[in-house]
Amino acid sequence: MFHKEGFKIILVTFILVTTVVLLTKNFITMEWLQYLIYAVALVFLILILQFFRNPKRPISLNENQVLSPVDGKVVVIEEVFEKEYFNEKRLQISVFMSPLNVHVTRYPVGGDVVFSKYHKGKYLVAWHPKASEENERTTVVVKNKSFGDVLHRQIAGALAKRIVNYAKEGQTVTQASESGFIKFGSRVDVFLPLDAKVNVSLNQKVTGGLSILASTHDA
């Protein structure tokens, strides 16, 4: 199953690969070079298909848990001063996505969307310390019954050239439902109350909509 954000790119890729194969067959006479071009075209197609895959997952909703919004690796767990929305210290958990990860962004908690904003910016590598403030990004805040306001921020990386954000202020959203998509590698930051119980460790691999980033102490 492929994500709707990839339909156009997948179609263009199919046309491009088919064209390359036909041109190679008709104009390249060296057999070894033909096979090389076929192999490169096939690998390119597979990478594009893999990037836009959108697998179905057995998601269990729980108001006392914060689910990972994306697939990837945990690269930050620390207390920081969040100055765009909270203007106070928050617990930040960041997940870095490689181009090989599923790039659907999901709501880490359910509730009411109270803030949604897009920022133009740079394309520093996603793990750069200033990427959260200087890169192209979107900030979404969901008011949740158990955790209060939970902020998640999509951040473009050196390869990501388009962030898609579905969140609109005033919406009521379900935990783990789609909040957006980031094309070609990036990172997502989640900002939680300082008393949230962290359930992951640095460099741990997580799965969007399944892995628990944090929970209440009663969970």
The residues assigned a catalytic role are: 186
CA distances from 130 to 99, 155, 156 (A): 21, 11, 12
Q: What's the token pair of residue 65?
A: 């848990």
Is there a contact between 163 and 154 (Cβ–Cβ < 8 Å)?
A: yes
Distance CA 11, CA 68 (A): 30
Starting from the edge strand earliest in sequence, which strands make up the sheet with 178-183, in order?
Answer: 104-106, 178-183, 162-165
Q: Is 132 helix (H, G, I), strand (E, B) or coil?
A: helix
Distance CA 103, CA 47 (A): 13
Query: Could you tell me how many helices (H) and strands (E) the chain has, helices first?
Result: 3, 14
CA distances from 115 to 50, 109, 111 (A): 32, 14, 12
Q: What's the token pair of residue 183?
A: 């094309």
